[in-house]
Structure 1
Amino acid sequence: MSEKLRGMTEIIFNITYLFLIWLMVIKMKLNKEKLQYKQQKVGEHLLLAFFLLAVGDTGHVGFRAYAYMLGGVEKYSALVGYGALATAITVTLFYIVFLYVWKYRFNKEFGIFHYFLIALGIIRIIILFLPQNNWSSLNQPNIWSLIRNIPLTVQGLSVAFLMYIDAEKTKDITFRWISIMIFISYACYIPVILFNNINPMIGLLMIPKTIAYLLAGYIGYRGVFVSGKIKP
């Protein structure tokens, strides 16, 4: 595949993804006031989580697509890099908020481990702002990619495990599948973190990763905002 064709394919995919994720967020917002009382806290935090994801991905995906249209990501590497920083921040906040989704869905209380996961998110955000990340360059140090993604991986997989365990106990199909989608997203993301500098084609795994997040949002929308509405 030529560079031009790959760029156009990426732009089309990214724009389609942004359209769908924002459409889903808007539909969540429109249905939020119709939720049953016991679903309201879950719905509010689920909406906030995917709103954060949409905002961050608009920065990352949108800036990258814009750079392609202007003449290439190499020429506008700073734009691409700061877009990546934006999504790195919001996905960290996404998992902090998702911890609250788990709490309200399954009527849990936070303990030391849960506050540890929140602290990991704060630590990661601090790491993201360190100059060693070199966000303005396309050739960012691989070691810093590993350093900043270790807290996110522990945080995200831990939240997914908590959700999966309680969903299995309570036969909660919606959140069982949301947790499975998160597992799939990490199964795609971890190889990219580890091996993208060796073989850039591994970066294609970001496509199923992105689709997994989109499906998690759709499953949440159907299971909370549609099934959880007050019956007329």
Structure 2
Amino acid sequence: MQKIIEPIIHILYLTYIFLMGSYFLRNALGNKLYKGFGYLAVTLGLADLCYLIPRMYALLTTGIEDNLKFIGWGRILNSIIITFLFIILYEITNKRYSRKDNVPLNKTFYFLTIMRIVLCLMPPNNWFEMIPNSIFALIRFIPLALMGVLLLLIIFIHSKMHRDVHFQIILLGVFLLLPTIEPLIYFKDSSTFIIALTILRTVTLNIIILLGFKELRKITELSRY
């Protein structure tokens, strides 16, 4: 039953998230804020695609253990692409509040991004094992956690200053997002909890995207009159 239901759910989800990204990119009409939400949706879709396609292939063929090489490459790409979600959220926040370029802060974000990618590519991650290295999961999480904390501070200051309810919800979303990025840190021997945190991460990011969708849909409807 799992071989049938799980791939169907994954395909439906991936179709939805890419359609959502397409909607933003087609209807943003030069608005960089909502284009940013489109890039966020597409990037999330790509990250999940890299994780889900190898898993679906394994389920439909000879199983997870026989396809660890394919799954390992999916894990690597997923971890790298997820890093860019934080860069996109940072850029969306900048566009939302028309923040001037803060060169030192930009450099900090880009430096942490490069550091995270390098750590993701290092052999001790054991991506091609049944259970990757949980200690290295913590190490590669550090630059992402620093990016997350900086992002939380920026959103907190500006959303409070502008009484921006939607970005106060996004603030909560980013806060919930951080502990779900590397579930292997907490539950290396429990696939159930790892899957649960992965689902929570996906749901949290989709709520953030839906907030942008709600705003753009309202603007699109008003532009018809």
Give TM-score scaled by structure 2 length.
0.86
- Give the whole-Å Cα distance in 2 for the aligned partners of 1:55 and 1:201: 23
Aligned to 1:155: 147
Matches for 1:35-74 after TM superposition, within 5 Å: 40-74=31-65
Structure with the larger RCO, 1 or 2 (CA within 8 Å, 6+ apart): 1
Indicate yes or no: 2:88 matched with 1:92: no
The partner residue of 1:173 within 162, 165, 177 is 165
Question: Counterpart of 1:61 in structure 2: which amino acid?
Answer: L
The equivalent of 1:106 in structure 2 is: 97
The Cα of 1:82 is off from its aligned counterpart by 1.0
Q: Which residue of 2 aligns with 1:164?
A: 156
For residues 122 and 13 of structure 1, do their structure 2 counterparts lie closer, same or farther at Cα, with a shift above 3 Å needed? same
CA contact (8 A) 2:131 2:188 kept: no
Residue number among 1, 15, 21 corresponding to 2:17 in the alignment: 21
Cα distance per residue 1:55-81 (max 9 Å; x no partner):
121111222122211221111111111
Q: Give the secondary-structure state (helix, strand or coil) at the position aligned to 2:65.
A: coil
Indicate the SS of the match to 1:227.
Answer: helix
| 1:189 positional shift | 4.1
Inter-partner Cα distance in structure 2 for 1:133 and 1:179: 30
Which aligned runs of 4 or more in structure 1 are off by greater than 6 angstroms? Answer: none
Query: Of residues 46, 52, 69 in structure 2, which corresponds to 1:78?
Result: 69
Q: CA offsets per residue over residues 176-212 of structure 1, 9 Å max, x none? A: 222222222224446x232221433321222122111
1:139 to 117, 131, 135: 131
> What one-letter code is carried by the residue in structure 1 that aligns with 2:172?
I
Query: Do residues 219 (structure 1) and 211 (structure 2) align?
Result: yes
Q: For residues 42 and 84 of structure 1, what CA distance do their matches in structure 2 show?
A: 29
What is the CA–CA distance in structure 2 between the aligned matches of 1:163 and 1:123, rounded to whole Å?
Answer: 23
Shift of 1:12: 4.2
> CA-to-partner distance for each residue in 1:103-136, whole Å, 9 max, x for gaps?
1111113153442122101111111122222322
Of 172-181 and 122-131, the range deviating more from structure 2: 172-181
Q: CA deviation at 1:175?
A: 2.0
* RMSD value, Cα: 2.2
For 2:218 and 2:92, the matched residues in 1 are separated by 16
Partner Cα distance (1:97, 1:67) in 2:
31
Aligned residue pairs, count: 221
Which residue, out of 123, 126, 131, partners 2:115? 123
